[in-house]
Structure 1
């Protein structure tokens, strides 16, 4: 973290930038990584292509919501602890508020107009992810070896499916990089600004372990609906790899199979979470509000914190060793292979679920191609493309 005080205007800049992303980032984790790449690497240049790829690879290895971890780390790099908190809050809270309001009211997504806009936003995700994949492929897969690693990752994730295939692709890519990607141009990877102090890392590891072991004990010693919910949501966030949709079966096992809520309530909230921007982990806020209608905002806040906290603590815990690790020659080869695998994983996500859920006919393809050209040729901002795609989706629906 920065040793000198961070100017308040920088914290405001971080908050406003991530708030815009939290209000417009449709399409799930893969699309979020595309938005982040466009905003922070291409447009604002807050970090380099290499730093961004290394960070994405690290967060793919860790349990928790990968896109939120990446955003949290970018905020930390830019503004220290307050910057990390501002980035997480601004990116997460908009969708959380919408989902809690949805839990407390009738459906907000009925009618052909809203459905057309939502479909256009899904098409926007296709353009954003395709633009990110093409840019990262040029920089991170410049030779046959790394292009081959990316191709293997695409095939593995598409054919096998599931979070385990993504983790496997990362491991295989890292091993392949160690074996086939040792040649490099001799450049120093430099000192990444994505680091924290040893003390902060030790405290994060301590709190992660204490909560993981202590919450079940607390729920056993002082049983209550609140302590049981906190334990269930923290444990889910600590043990899920792949993030996004992977968390749904785990949450379903915790809240539906235990009889806390009905299957209809669960699926209704999931449908709403699919239709709004921001991380899918904010589905936990909806569940918290449904679990305790007498105190919906308190329970939503607790559920939201519990589901995100373990992944963020783990990220802070490993970052102190990150710079030393990435300077080893073997580690650099490993990361070259892992970064190529990241490109493959994003390429697979471009097909499923981004493409398959959005491109339903020739009009959708034409709209997605328009969005891609607006980004890559006309250099339009991502938020402007989102607005254009929403209008296009409305016209297609009409």
Structure 2
């Protein structure tokens, strides 16, 4: 099907400032890690704002699971791109990322009591409310994306396999296998009409962005070696970390440790202290890179070092998602791809189900009081219709007072 120019330009485009403020609020309140972030996004952009429907959202999540980098941040960048072009993607990235990045840099520059205060009841309350957020997203997505026996079977099988093979390879393998099952078994009477995810970016621009990703990956080590500049070494190391890691923030941590600790840039004690603080802030765990740049033993460090490492670790994911989306929309139109995406969308529900158990549930629900707090948070989100930021705040206060 051919779409008019008005379809591509998207009549409902949002201003860059609006996009930044929406994602800033999410960046200030989205605790619980990447799976919880996807739940917050779904509530904000599928249910509340209706920027896209459930199927287009699941397609986007599946694409970001394929790509290296921080999947939840890439989903946010893609949503920003669809509403405001490249500047919208940048605004979404900045809004969602800056709160945790600034908090971690301040921690690295000496406010050590910040992490200590949140590292007990308050932090536990944030983990508990993440259970409610993910449960809400799991229920809503499951009803839409796995409503029949075949797709429910795919979802449960995906959850079982990913739970038994908890690795990035297991996740990608499940998505591929589910796509093949969908293509073979889910016929046209099952498929829903194609829903457009508008991307105001030409394919030529997308190709240039993808070319830039690979060129930087190849050239940065050469430039860093030739210049002997610590700034270039930082940029190169963190760009490669963002380019080569599947599975989100927890997977990138060992790679970052191998980059900065043996080289003497950051002591192991400082690395572990920063990792503890990163658990207490909202937003993407990849912002831990800003902390490492700030506490680097060599110059540039401080705010300059944080800016270098933060841009470097997120840039690969930004280039990949913005470069891929102009081609992705065309691929989604083909009948065979539609059937495959039905299977993949069911697998996304399965991945969410597996993550709901571990790490979301296992790290949060330690007692009957925790279960009661999570159930109350779910009630507040689903039936009382309280905004997620308020539920997060109330749950943190309740846990800090020893209620949960």
The two structures have a TM-score, normalised by structure 2, of: 0.93
Tell me the equivalent position of 2:388: 382
Correspondent of 2:240 among 219, 222, 235 = 235
Correspondent of 1:351 among 330, 354, 357 = 357
Q: Work out whether residues 85 and 200 of structure 2, in 8 Å CA contact, stay in contact via their aligned partners in 1.
A: no
Tell me the equivalent position of 2:327: 321
Alpha-carbon offset, residue 225 of structure 1: 1.6
Alpha-carbon offset, residue 12 of structure 1: 2.1
| Cα distance in 1, alignment partners of residues 195 and 99 from structure 2 | 36
Written as runs of structure 1 = structure 2, the 5 A alignment for 1:187-226 is 187-194=192-199, 196-226=201-231
Give CA deviations for 1:58-77 in whole Å, capped at 9, x if unaligned: 00011110000000111111
Tell me how many residue pairs correspond in the alignment: 397
Alpha-carbon offset, residue 30 of structure 1: 0.1
| Cα distance in 2, alignment partners of residues 186 and 150 from structure 1 | 16
1:36 equivalent to 2:41? Answer yes
> Which has the higher mean CA deviation after the structures are superposed, 372-381 or 105-114?
105-114
> Which has the higher mean CA deviation after the structures are superposed, 336-345 or 286-295?
286-295
Give CA deviations for 1:295-317 in whole Å, capped at 9, x if unaligned: 41111001000000011101122
| Cα distance in 2, alignment partners of residues 171 and 221 from structure 1 | 41
Correspondent of 1:25 among 23, 30, 53 = 30
Written as runs of structure 1 = structure 2, the 5 A alignment for 1:14-93 is 14-93=19-98
| Cα distance in 1, alignment partners of residues 402 and 118 from structure 2 | 10
Give CA deviations for 1:221-260 in whole Å, capped at 9, x if unaligned: 1122221111111011111011121111111111123332
> Which has the higher mean CA deviation after the structures are superposed, 163-172 or 187-196?
187-196
> Which has the higher mean CA deviation after the structures are superposed, 351-360 or 286-295?
286-295
1:391 equivalent to 2:392? Answer no
From the superposition, tell whether residues 342 and 4 of structure 1 become closer, same or farther in structure 2 (CA, over 3 Å).
closer
The CA RMSD measured in Å over matched residues stands at 2.0
Correspondent of 1:272 among 253, 272, 277 = 277
Q: Work out whether residues 182 and 330 of structure 1, in 8 Å CA contact, stay in contact via their aligned partners in 2.
A: no
Tell me the equivalent position of 1:107: 112
Alpha-carbon offset, residue 324 of structure 1: 1.6
| Cα distance in 2, alignment partners of residues 397 and 80 from structure 1 | 45
Secondary structure of the 2:201 match is coil
1:361 equivalent to 2:401? Answer no
Structure 1 unpaired stretches of 5+: none
The two structures have a TM-score, normalised by structure 1, of: 0.95
Q: Work out whether residues 195 and 322 of structure 1, in 8 Å CA contact, stay in contact via their aligned partners in 2.
A: no
From the superposition, tell whether residues 375 and 5 of structure 1 become closer, same or farther in structure 2 (CA, over 3 Å).
closer
Q: Work out whether residues 40 and 47 of structure 1, in 8 Å CA contact, stay in contact via their aligned partners in 2.
A: yes
1:342 equivalent to 2:356? Answer no
From the superposition, tell whether residues 59 and 228 of structure 1 become closer, same or farther in structure 2 (CA, over 3 Å).
same
Secondary structure of the 2:76 match is helix
Secondary structure of the 2:295 match is helix
Structure 2 unpaired stretches of 5+: 1-6
| Cα distance in 1, alignment partners of residues 44 and 22 from structure 2 | 9
> Which has the higher mean CA deviation after the structures are superposed, 107-116 or 83-92?
107-116
From the superposition, tell whether residues 111 and 101 of structure 1 become closer, same or farther in structure 2 (CA, over 3 Å).
closer
Q: Work out whether residues 71 and 88 of structure 1, in 8 Å CA contact, stay in contact via their aligned partners in 2.
A: yes
Q: Work out whether residues 31 and 126 of structure 2, in 8 Å CA contact, stay in contact via their aligned partners in 1.
A: yes
Alpha-carbon offset, residue 382 of structure 1: 1.0
Tell me the equivalent position of 1:246: 251
Alpha-carbon offset, residue 183 of structure 1: 3.7
Alpha-carbon offset, residue 206 of structure 1: 1.8
